[in-house]
Amino acid sequence: MNSFLISRRNFIKGSTSAIALVSFPSLVLGQTTTVRLEWQQFISNSSRFQLFHDTVRAMRANTNSSSPLSWAYWVNAHVNYCPHSTSYFLAWHRGYLYHFEQNLRKVLPNNAGSTLTVPYWDYYKYPRMPAEFTNAATGNALYVPRQGTNVYNALSLAPFSSSVVNFQRNTNSSFEESMESKPHNPVHNLIGGEMANMTSPRDPIFFLHHANIDRLWNAWVSAGGKRVPYTSNPYNSVTSNAYWASTFRYGSNMTIERYKTYTPSWLGSSYASNTQPTSLPPSAKISSPFKLTQAQMPQFLARPAEGNFPAVPGRAVSATSRSLGGVSSVVLNELSVSAHLPLGAADVRAVKSAVSAAVGSPAQLVPNAARSVKIVLDNLLLLGAGAGGGYFYNVYVNLPPSGDAVEGGQKYQLGTVGPFEIAGASHHGPATLEFPATEVLSRLSDSELGDVSVSFERVNGENAPRGQVLRIGEVRIEISTDAPWEGNP
């Protein structure tokens, strides 16, 4: 399987010869847009479905991985350039879809696919993967082996809360962070197989998944309110804003200016539906050897039992961050578990001080005072069947021992961890995940802050693996002089 990939150096060198095949965007505001359809609507026209299938088959059969008309090119572009758990996650993938769609239209001879668009899979309506992707019949170009096909347990309405009005990372209640945490990452995890790692575009469902993520971002912006940061003249405001300066890269000669990814219409596309989900779909019941996660139940979510993990003392981590302590050798399996962080009285005061500084007036800050808190999962390692996916863990801080009935513990949730997050974290170095915790901790009382515990709630797909699936070398709490968030972007 690894022979499918080529090195970043060879990818860049090889794609130079394909410059004539690369489609560069030509942004014209007010241009006619093409509409991306939900899969069920897309396949209502049998000839359209056949055209899409034949195009995918031809791209997968193309062995020239330096050509944007091959499937391998887009796998390599994702491996070499995609940002995850960092700024521009949504915008980079919007440009990726644009370039993929432009080349999708060039694959078949005689301009046969010139009107093709990338469809989307609305799993907020249809949580089971479309049957056309799960049919293992010989010759089906949309099929690859997967761990699961039901993503109901990946869904969340948290990104569409009325309180989520900021877009960028490092802002209070960031939409981009919330959307990546759920549903994006868990959809990858529950499907598993190729979707559980950075080569996820090998699975054709990847493109329908990301088209839906892109649609949901557009729907969030369309909801209005404070969600649109530039209201007077969006085009001039965005093109002159430092955040949208520079370019995204998808190959040595394939780029896109960041500002063009601000809205789908600037890239000539739109979606059949631009409304946010307001409820979860029918569960499409999962057949699993495990009890389904409490996260989908409108009942109390209690803190899982604490495991017995070796304590790790505090230490300086960087010039701006200090660990207050943690635990080591946390091995996760099919059971949920909590890790109690052994903080002394001085460490508890440091956490409280950092949280207070974060929500206080900047004019009142003491120089070099800690003003943010994060939970760090260090030296992550997948074990055995854990790399195949079919599961993930909700990560909470200070989940009450007696349980919480408000939005399934959403008040305490930091994010998720599973094979896809670990693959992304190890993509450019050691596998470490950092969860900003200041915002969550700022909602808690002083007594709650005195009992720091990180909980890992196991969430299963229909073929979740048993036994040990991942190891966390260290779970720790850090305080930092870095600002926890900013205001509206």
User: So what's the pLDDT on residue 10?
Assistant: 46
Average pLDDT over residues 29-44: 85
**Residue 128, in any domain of the structure:** yes
Give the mean model confidence (pLDDT) for residues 39-67: 98
**300 and 252 co-located in one domain:** no
Amino acid at 175: F
Q: What is the mean pLDDT of residues 204-220?
A: 97
End-to-end CA distance of the chain: 42
Distance between CA atoms of residues 16 and 19, nearest Å: 6
Angle (nearest 5°) at CA 351 between 348 and 352: 90
Domains of the chain: total: 2
Q: How confident is the model at residue 361 (pLDDT cuts 50, 70, 90)?
A: low
**Close Cβ partners of 321 (under 8 Å, ≥ 6 residues apart):** 374, 478, 479, 480, 481, 482
Whether residue 85 is predicted with pLDDT greater than 50 in this model: the reply is yes
Where a domain ends, among 238, 271, 304? Answer: 271
How many residues does the structure list for the chain?
A: 489
Two tokens, residue 40: 């069920």
pLDDT at 254: 97
Report residue 170's pLDDT band, with 50, 70 and 90 as the boundaries: confident
Residue 35 sits in a domain whose CATH number is 1.10.1280.10
Nearest to 214 by CA among 249, 238, 189, 179: 179
User: In the prediction, which pLDDT does 407 show?
Assistant: 56
Confidence at residue 132, expressed as pLDDT on a 0 to 100 scale: 98
Residue 338: which region, alpha, beta or left (left: phi > 0; alpha: psi -120 to 50)? beta
Please report, rounded to a whole number, the percentage of residues in the chain having pLDDT higher than 90.
Answer: 65
- pLDDT-above-70 percentage for the chain: 84
- State whether 90 and 202 are in the same domain: yes
Other C-beta atoms lying within 10 Å of the C-beta of residue 9 = 9
By the 10 Å C-beta count (0-12 exposed, 13-18 middle, 19+ buried), 387 is classed as middle
Highest mean predicted confidence (pLDDT) among 2-11, 52-61, 340-349:
52-61
> Would the pLDDT of 53 be above 70?
yes
Same domain, 193 and 321: no
Helices and strands in the chain: count of H runs, count of E runs? 14, 14
Are 62 and 211 in a shared domain? yes
In the structure encoding, which two tokens stand for residue 240, read together?
């002159």
205 domain residue, yes or no: yes
Q: Work out the angle between the directed axes of helices 46-61 and 71-81 (0-180°, nearest 10).
A: 70
Q: How far apart are CA 107 and CA 57, in angstroms?
A: 10
Can you read off the two tokens belonging to residue 311? 């304590």
Residue 360 confidence (pLDDT): 61
- When pLDDT is averaged across residues 244-264 and rounded to a whole number, the result is 95
Based on the fold, state whether residues 232 and 305 are members of the same structural domain: no
Tell me the pLDDT tens digit for each residue of 395-423: 999 888 876 545 567 888 999 999 999 99
**Band of the pLDDT at 241, cuts 50, 70, 90?**
confident
User: Does the residue 284 lie in any domain?
Assistant: no
Place of tokens 């405001």: 237
User: Which residue has better confidence, 50 or 31?
Assistant: 50
pLDDT at 489: 39
Reported as a single tens digit per residue, the pLDDT across 278-327 is: 999 987 665 444 444 434 443 457 889 999 999 999 999 999 999 999 99
Average model confidence (pLDDT) across the chain: 86
DSSP structure class, residue 366: P
| 217 and 108 in a common domain | yes
Quick one: pLDDT at residue 359? 66
Task: Give the model's pLDDT for residue 6.
Answer: 41
Whether 438 has a pLDDT exceeding 50, the answer reads: yes
Candidate from 17-21, 25-29, 121-125, 388-392 with smallest mean pLDDT: 17-21
Give the separation between CA 384 and CA 206, rounded to whole angstroms. 24
What is the predicted pLDDT for the residue at 400?
A: 84
Query: What pLDDT band is residue 216 in, cutting at 50, 70 and 90?
Result: very high
Q: Is the pLDDT of residue 201 over 50?
A: yes
Radius of gyration, alpha carbons of the chain? 23
Given a cut of 60, whether residue 110 has pLDDT beyond it is yes
Same domain for 233 and 311?
Answer: no
Domain of 339: which CATH number? Answer: 2.60.120
Burial class for 301, CB neighbours closer than 10 Å (0-12, 13-18, 19+): buried
Residues 65-80 have pLDDT tens digits of 999 999 999 999 999 9
Among the ranges 1-15, 204-218, 332-346, which has the highest mean pLDDT value? 204-218
Residue 193: pLDDT over 80? yes
Judgement on whether residues 249 and 187 belong to the same structural domain of the protein:
yes
Q: What is the pLDDT of residue 233?
A: 65
Q: Are residues 108 and 226 in the same domain?
A: yes
Q: Are 349 and 407 part of one and the same domain? A: yes
Q: What is the pLDDT of residue 406?
A: 52
Residue 326: which residues within 8 A CB-CB, separation 6 or more? 311, 312, 339, 341, 376, 474, 475, 476, 477
Q: Which of 1-10, 210-219, 395-404 has the lowest mean pLDDT?
A: 1-10
Residue 199 lies in domain: 2-271
Q: Is residue 25 part of a domain?
A: yes
Residue 356 CA to residue 372 CA, distance in Å, equals 9
Q: Does pLDDT of 261 surpass 60?
A: yes
342 and 452: one domain? Answer: yes
Q: Is residue 485 part of a domain?
A: no
